[in-house]
A = this chain, B = another copy of it.
Amino acid sequence: MSDLMSEAVSLMAVGMGFVFVFLAILVGVTTLMSKLVNKYAPAPEPKVSAAAPQMNATSNDAQLLAVLSAAVEKYRSDHKK
């Protein structure tokens, strides 16, 4: 077997072996982590993401609502009579 072939074979053996071992450990760690989380901290309020909404989004919405309310207000007052 040529040198290149033997290198390729051992790269395959080591590589696939390592990929499988690594991902198998990941399966284990993930499963364990999920169990612990769902046992000790089940479904916490999604407080974190609510607490720090993206600034731009907020201000855009604010502008939007401002323009919108103004428009609706005007429409209302036009139709009042």
Point out residues on A near B: beta carbons under 8 Å.
60-61, 63-65, 67-68, 71-72, 75-76
Contacts and interface: CB of A to CB of B under 8 A. Distances in A.
Chain copies in the assembled complex: 3
Contacts of A60: 60
A65 B67 CA distance: 8
Contacts of A72: 71, 75
Contacts of A76: 75
Contacts of A71: 68, 72
Nearest to A75: B72
Contacts of A65: 67
B68 A61 contact: no
A71 B71 CA distance: 11
Contacts of A75: 72, 75-76
